Every structure is written in structure tokens, then in C-alpha cells.
């Protein structure tokens, strides 16, 4: 199907992209900057989520996948819609109005945006290949940045939804490579919740889970003692789903 690229002026999607670097949970943000051509003065310098308006012959999910592919180059990405943001003043801030006037793309004065969050293995994303200024920020640092529009609120809501969902669904494995160590898995959950987890209790729970499968191989090329590798079995998880009330915690 051919996409017309004619936008719907008052409906957009914004994607909160989370990644994990084996130490920290990060969010991928786009640097927004506008400089006055005459004076050279910086009028706007802040950060946005990745997003755009949907096309008139495109549904919401396709728009979100399109935007993610344009930014990361990936197609098979975990993506979930989590809520809609529609406050009447969400694009009325002075600097945001200046930005929309500068773009001059016929956007509406009131814009509804549909929030999505995405989980990717950040080690596979090469930021230097993208024309835009995009950066990974640890979620703790992201709170203190200067944000565009209401994107900070969108980010915080996505983080809340993620923290709630990883308690009952195995979506956190989307942030890891196919094979991982128990230390990496523990650090991932510590990074998501922002709190230490007792190593002994964590591993005790993990070894009781039939869908986290121990492999007969260990890490290679690491400067420390190689650890055993594990993988998550979606097939086993689905078969044993009814036997559990939760996932990890």
C-alpha cells in the first residue's frame, strides 16, 4: 500500500524508547535546537521523545513502527500503546509555539498524542548513523533535563507502566540479548525499579522458573570468570502461565 504522507494535523504518536546497557536503564531522546539566524542566539535547546503525526491513510501502530524504524533501523521491536495525552495546553508553551511555527507543517493548535513505549537491546543501536542528534540518557538523569511539550510526563507515565507490567509479564527480556547471565538479569530489574535486589533471594526465585533455561555454555571474551548463560523460553512460559499469579516479584 502506498502511503500518501499527508498528515492528520491534530493526531500524533510519541514513543518512549527504553534500552539497557547491562548497568543502567536508559531512554532515547532527540535533541531539539533552534538558533536565530540573525543573532546566532539559541532560542530553543531541549529534548523530545521520538514521534510525529500519523498519515491520513495510516493507523496508529503502523505510524509508531514507522517512526521507530526511521530512528533505529529496526523492524521487529517490542512496542506497546499505553495511554493518550490530550490536555488542551500541551503544545501552548511559548517555546513550543515558536518551534511549531518554525516547522510550518500545518499542525493543529491542539494536538492529541498516543503514547507508546518500546523495549530494545541498546547495544545494537548505532546512534552515529542517524542524522538527528539522538542520545541515550539514564532514566535518573532524564528527570532533570529540559523537555519539550509534555514529553517528560509521557516519559514518566511510560516508566510507571513498564514497572507495573514487568511484575506480571516477561517483557523485560526484550531489553537483553537472547543469551544472558543471571547477574545481567538481576541488574536489569534493579535498573528498572531503581533499587537493589538481594542476590541470594533473586537467584533462588530464578532457578525455580522453568522458562528461564540454563545453557551448557558460558560467556566468552570477558575479563572476569565466565558466567553461565541462560535464555528465556516463551514456549515454556506460555505452557505454565496458568500456574502462576505473577512473574518475578
pLDDT digits (tens, 9 = 90+) for 178-213: 999 999 999 999 999 999 999 999 998 888 888 999
CA 139 from chain centre, in angstroms, equals 11
The pLDDT, as a whole number, for residue 128 is 56
Closest CA to 157 of 211, 214, 113: 113
Pick the CATH number of 7-165 from 3.30.420.40, 3.40.190.10, 3.90.79.10, 1.20.1260.10: 3.90.79.10
Where in the chain is CATH 1.10.10.10?
170-243
Predicted local distance difference test score (pLDDT) of residue 125: 74
pTM of the full structure: 0.90
Torsion of CA 53, 30, 90, 6, to 10 degrees: -10
Sort 161 into a burial class: Cβ within 10 Å, 0-12 / 13-18 / 19+: middle
Residues of the chain scoring pLDDT < 50: 1-3
The whole-number pLDDT of residue 131 equals: 67
Q: Which of 183, 131, 171, 140 is nearest to 27 (CA)?
A: 140
Residues 87-110 as b or e (16 or more Cβ within 10 Å = b)? eeebbeeebbeebbeeeeeebeee
Strands 228-232 and 212-218: antiparallel
Structure confidence at residue 3 (pLDDT): 44
Question: Taking CA 15 as the corner, what is the angle to CA 27 and CA 102, rounded to the nearest 5 degrees?
Answer: 100
Q: Which fold has domain 170-243?
A: Arc Repressor Mutant, subunit A (1.10.10)
**How many CB atoms within 10 Å of residue 35?**
12
Domain with CATH 3.90.79.10 in the chain: 7-165
Work out the burial of residue 2: count CB atoms within 10 Å of its CB; fewer than 13 is exposed, 13-18 middle, 19 or more buried: exposed
Name residues whose C-beta falls within 8 Å of residue 206's C-beta, 6 or more positions apart in sequence.
Answer: 182, 185, 212
Do 85 and 112 contact (CB within 8 A), yes or no?
Answer: yes
- Reported as a single tens digit per residue, the pLDDT across 74-93 is 778 899 999 999 999 999 89
What is the predicted pLDDT for the residue at 2? Answer: 41
Pairing type for strands 25-35 and 42-48 reads antiparallel
DSSP annotation string for 157-173: HHHHHHHHHTTTSGGGG
Amino acid at each position: 500500500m502506498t502511503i500518501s504522507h499527508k498528515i492528520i494535523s491534530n493526531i500524533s504518536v510519541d514513543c518512549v524508547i527504553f534500552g539497557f546497557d547491562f548497568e543502567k536503564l536508559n531512554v532515547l531522546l532527540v535533541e531539539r535546537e533552534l538558533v536565530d539566524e540573525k543573532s546566532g542566539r539559541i532560542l530553543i535547546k531541549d529534548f523530545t521523545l521520538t514521534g510525529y503525526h500519523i498519515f491520513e491513510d495510516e493507523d496508529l501502530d503502523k505510524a509508531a513502527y514507522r517512526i521507530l524504524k526511521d530512528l533505529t533501523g529496526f523492524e521487529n521491536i517490542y512496542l506497546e500503546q499505553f495511554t493518550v495525552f490530550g490536555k488542551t495546553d500541551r503544545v501552548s508553551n511559548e517555546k513550543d509555539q515558536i518551534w511549531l511555527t518554525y516547522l510550518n507543517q500545518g499542525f493543529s493548535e491542539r494536538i492529541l498524542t498516543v503514547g507508546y513505549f518500546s523495549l530494545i537491546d541498546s547495544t545494537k543501536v548505532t546512534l552515529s548513523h542517524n542524522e538527528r542528534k539522538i542520545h541515550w540518557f539514564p532514566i535518573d538523569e532524564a528527570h532533570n533535563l529540559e523537555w519539550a511539550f509534555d514529553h517528560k510526563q509521557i516519559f514518566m507515565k511510560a516508566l510507571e507502566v513498564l514497572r507495573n507490567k514487568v511484575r506480571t509479564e516477561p517483557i523485560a527480556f526484550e531489553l537483553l540479548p537472547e543469551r544472558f547471565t543471571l547477574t545481567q538479569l538481576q541488574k536489569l530489574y534493579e535498573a528498572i525499579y531503581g533499587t537493589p535486589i538481594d542476590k541470594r533471594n533473586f537467584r533462588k526465585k530464578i532457578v525455580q522458573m522453568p522458562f528461564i533455561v540454563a545453557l551448557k555454555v558460558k560467556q566468552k571474551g570477558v575479563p572476569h570468570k565466565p558466567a553461565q548463560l541462560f535464555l528465556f523460553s516463551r514456549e515454556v512460559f506460555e505452557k505454565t502461565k496458568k500456574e502462576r499469579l505473577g512473574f518475578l516479584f
